[in-house]
Structure 1
Amino acid sequence: MRSIRHLLSRITAPLLLAAATAFGPAVAQPAAPAKAPAAAASAAVDTPRKPGVLRVAVKPAKPFAYEENGQWKGYSVELWNAIAQQEQWQFEWVPMDTVPQTLEALQKGQVDVGVGALSITEEREKVLDFSHPFFESGLQIMSPVASAGSIWVALQGLASAPVLGGFGALVLALLLVSWLLWWFEHKDNEESFPAPAWIGFKESLWWSTNILIAGGCENKSPNGTPGRLLAVVWMLGGIAFTSYITAVFTSTLTVTRLNTQVRGMADLQGQIVGTVEGSSSDAYLNKLGGIPVEGHDSVDSAMAALLKKDVKAVVYDAPMLRYWMSTHPAENEKVALAGDTFARQHYGFALPVGSAKRKEINETLLQLRGSGFLEDLEKRWFGSIQAPLSQ
């Protein structure tokens, strides 16, 4: 029986994806875009319920949920459409302005499901139920790109680990070759490499340095076979090694010139940071302390403040920051993601405590995951965005 259900889910998954993409909700059309979203949401939750029709709160958060030409679209929207179609549920969208508004409506039982980019957190699970997670996320920092012409940026390039390591290896190789050359030559070629160790080593070091920089040394040359073989190896190796060090320095300096002004959360202490008000990133920053937080109603608003330099950085969900960058290529020279993803979290559908729909949603999610529907959905929405988080 399980194999039959699995086969059916494999067959129906492409059909569900196509239907979710092309037609939106299978059994109910989304609400028309409201001119005054807050008032519309308040009015919607206060109106009498339609028998047999679920109320689905949706908080705009590109690319997971957004309204376009009167239709709701996005990763989470398409996933919910597929679940509703498979379960044959009728529903209506209830647009929400903020995450707190969405959570409050769920707590009061004014809506049945919350759809968008809702992070599953310990605090929220105390007052709400969540479906199985369907997307892995986390927080990341967006910061202005450092000035390309600053002396500090150049010094950062010189002091980087690859460059310092390369120079260190070059110095060690230079000293080793100089010592070996003196050892091979000081008995039979004392004129060029005198027998006293310290004097002879200085002469061989002079020879090795000239070979490395100028490609030759007119007044000195090894006479013995071991010394000449070492000279050939050093000449060829020196060219390759110098080219490598130059390439490492150039690439490191280029990356550093495009680096961000902020490297991590430690750089944000005492600095004004933008985020989306009421989001999990807002809660994280306030709990962390020491960082003045400026709340915005959307990631677009927060990024506008960053571009105007009203805030030092923006801290928000990594997938949405990456999506913003992919849809604003002209701004990629001005801002960039800083550091790695931190405060890992997952997105899920939010429900009132004790909701009977939770079990059905979870069962359908497992079927869609097993059929490859979630994988196909993620590739379509995030395939062009570098380093998706849910791999």
Structure 2
Amino acid sequence: MNGKWLTSLSAAVALSLGSTMASAETLSAVTDPSFVPFEMMDQESGEMVGFDMDILQEVAKRAGFDYNLRTMDFNGIIPALQTGNADIALAGITITEEREKIVDFSDPYYDSGLRLLIRASNDNVDELADLEGKKIGTKIGSTSYDYLTANLDDTEGVTPYPGSSDMYMALMSGSVDAVFYDAPNVGYFSRTKGEGKVKTVGPLYEGQQYGIALVDGSEWVDDVNDALAAMKEDGTYKTIYEKWFGKMPEDMGM
């Protein structure tokens, strides 16, 4: 067989393989721009950043797809997937039976719920029961307020505040002994304005789970799940979690 022909054939095959490997499928990804710290706009760069954005970037790399990201109101995300106007979405989306009827979900990637926040100098509180009879700040009308009133024997010290900033200020000033509120929010505060002054403790209460949502019947579900599993196994997930929320609870099941 002609040597020049073999050389040309080999070069053509290599070029073809290289082209195939380089042309990863590009998915249309959507998120909600206002769910801090899962996704938010970096004012300096103009780019979306946050926990979900780091998860999406790592999952895409491991699963083998590229993506174009756009933002929309949260209530438009599931319809966008349902109509095929988006392929994949991360926006702190709770996995529910109703949503599972119209979109596919990955395995859970984030355990949400309610969590305790205390002053950094306090070593006497490990769980909610340790706060019986003490002052606990929470938010008016929240599920955390409902949980406290339903699960504490002594609710006299439960103090509802109109906004999260009010209860955090009360904690740091010593007006309350702890804050009990949504885990992502207290975790983010502990890593930003409250760093070195407060800390999260205890397990997650009244848990929910977030999943990556995909078009119903998506071919990428298994690859996304494999990527998430590998991230949890090699510690990448833990690194991303603690970047945004502080120490990861041991009972998160990750």
Q: TM-score, normalised by structure 2?
A: 0.59
Query: In structure 2, do the counterparts of structure 1 residues 137 and 53 end up closer, same or farther at CA, with 3 Å as the change threshold?
Result: same
Say if 1:319 and 1:389, in contact at 8 Å, map to a contact too: no
Deviation per CA, 1:81-137: give whole Å up to 9, x if none: 112123332211111232x22222222221111113222123322322110112222
What is the Cα deviation at residue 274 of structure 1?
5.0
The answer as to 2:83 corresponding to 1:108 is yes
Q: Please give the alpha-carbon distance, in whole angstroms, between the structure 2 residues aligned to 1:379 and 1:140.
A: 15
Q: Please give the alpha-carbon distance, in whole angstroms, between the structure 1 residues aligned to 2:206 and 2:189.
A: 20
Deviation per CA, 1:215-236: give whole Å up to 9, x if none: xxxxxxxxxxxxxxxxxxxxxx
Say if 1:274 and 1:302, in contact at 8 Å, map to a contact too: no
Q: Please give the alpha-carbon distance, in whole angstroms, between the structure 1 residues aligned to 2:180 and 2:194.
A: 19
Percent identity (aligned): 26
* Partner SS for 2:89: strand
Deviation per CA, 1:139-176: give whole Å up to 9, x if none: 3589xxxxxxxxxxxxxxxxxxxxxxxxxxxxxxxxxx
* Partner SS for 1:356: coil
Corresponding residue of 2:66: 90
The structure carrying a bigger strand percent of its residues is 2
Counterparts of 1:17-56 in structure 2, within 5 Å, are 52-56=25-29
Structure with max Cα Rg: 1
* Partner SS for 2:252: coil
Q: Out of 259, 262, 268, which is 2:135 matched to?
A: 259
* Partner SS for 2:225: helix
Say if 1:62 and 1:74, in contact at 8 Å, map to a contact too: yes
Q: For residue 110 of structure 2, what is the amino acid of its counterpart?
A: F
What is the Cα deviation at residue 316 of structure 1?
6.1
* Partner SS for 1:273: coil
Say if 1:260 and 1:338, in contact at 8 Å, map to a contact too: no
After superposition, the CA RMSD in angstroms is 4.3
Deviation per CA, 1:20-72: give whole Å up to 9, x if none: xxxxxxx9xxxxxxxxxxxxxxxxxxxxxxx9531111124223222212222
* Partner SS for 2:135: coil
* Partner SS for 2:79: helix
Give every structure 1 segment of 4 or more consecutive aligned residues whose post-TM-superposition deviation is greater than 4 Å: 255-258, 304-307, 336-340, 385-389
Q: For residue 28 of structure 2, what is the amino acid of its counterpart?
A: R
Q: Which runs of 5+ in 1 are unaligned?
A: 1-26, 28-50, 143-247, 249-254, 263-267, 276-280, 286-300, 308-313
Q: For residue 121 of structure 1, what is the amino acid of its counterpart?
A: T
Q: Out of 164, 169, 187, which is 1:303 matched to?
A: 164
The answer as to 2:101 corresponding to 1:126 is yes
Q: Please give the alpha-carbon distance, in whole angstroms, between the structure 2 residues aligned to 1:132 and 1:367.
A: 12
Query: In structure 2, do the counterparts of structure 1 residues 373 and 141 end up closer, same or farther at CA, with 3 Å as the change threshold?
Result: closer
Q: For residue 123 of structure 1, what is the amino acid of its counterpart?
A: E
Query: In structure 2, do the counterparts of structure 1 residues 357 and 386 end up closer, same or farther at CA, with 3 Å as the change threshold?
Result: closer
Corresponding residue of 2:252: 390
* Partner SS for 2:136: coil
Q: Out of 72, 77, 88, which is 2:48 matched to?
A: 72
Corresponding residue of 1:6: none
What is the Cα deviation at residue 368 of structure 1?
2.5
Say if 1:141 and 1:337, in contact at 8 Å, map to a contact too: yes
Number of aligned residue pairs: give it: 194
Say if 1:274 and 1:306, in contact at 8 Å, map to a contact too: no
Q: For residue 323 of structure 1, what is the amino acid of its counterpart?
A: Y
Deviates more, 1:366-375 or 1:124-133: 366-375
Counterparts of 1:262-301 in structure 2, within 5 Å, are 273=141
Say if 1:326 and 1:385, in contact at 8 Å, map to a contact too: no
Counterparts of 1:1-391 in structure 2, within 5 Å, are 52-59=25-32, 60-68=34-42, 69-98=45-74, 100-140=75-115, 259-260=135-136, 273=141, 303=164, 317-329=182-194, 341-382=204-245, 384-385=246-247, 387=249, 390=252
Q: Please give the alpha-carbon distance, in whole angstroms, between the structure 2 residues aligned to 1:338 and 1:274.
A: 20
Q: Please give the alpha-carbon distance, in whole angstroms, between the structure 2 residues aligned to 1:73 and 1:261.
A: 29
What is the Cα deviation at residue 362 of structure 1?
1.1
